[in-house]
Amino acid sequence: MPYLRVWIHLIWSTKNREKIITKQLKPLLLDHIKQNAKTKDIYIDFLNCVEDHIHLTISLGCEQTISKVVQLMKGESSFWVNKEKLTKTKFEWQDEYIAVSVSESMINKVRDYIKNQEEHHKIKSFQEEYDEFIKKYGFEIIKKK
């Protein structure tokens, strides 16, 4: 059996960044994502969301890819929200997402960052945060190629 710990910080937003995740929906959505991930052997270390996006730290299993894990979590959770009619309009996640590796020495810092999303976004919008991630990790260079 291989021993593997590959930390990934995932971020994705609601379709068109709609502020559709209400205070009532948030705990239901987060709990559902956690429970569903367990059934698919996806290890979620930490997660939190605000009105228009979600942050997670996961550890990949040896047979898992980032794209498949994200697809499973996004697709099933939006299907569930719509099936249960938990929003007034159709609930969808944006197609794109950000995935960055996290070193073992930085995982607690990332967890704190995710935990404090509500406070963080009183100061900075999701667009500002998103732009910082794109710049910090050099994604604008990748998109230009």
pLDDT means per 10 residues, the chain with 145 residues, are 89 96 98 97 97 97 94 97 97 96 96 92 88 86 53
The two beta strands, 7-13 and 53-59, are antiparallel
Q: Give the global pTM.
A: 0.91
Nearest residue to 51 via CA among 14, 90, 97: 14
DSSP state of 95: S
Q: What is the structure's pLDDT at 141?
A: 59
Q: What is the structure's pLDDT at 145?
A: 47
HSE of 135, CA atoms in CB hemisphere, 13 A: 6
Q: What is the structure's pLDDT at 100?
A: 96
Q: What is the structure's pLDDT at 143?
A: 54
Distances in whole angstroms, Cα of residue 140 to Cα of each of 17, 53, 114:
20, 20, 23
The CATH architecture assigned to 7-144 reads 2-Layer Sandwich (3.30)
Segment holding 50, helix H or strand E? strand 43-50
d(CA 1, CA 21): 39
What is the DSSP secondary-structure string of 67-94? HHHHHHHHHHHHHHHHHTT-SSS---B-
d(CA 86, CA 62): 34
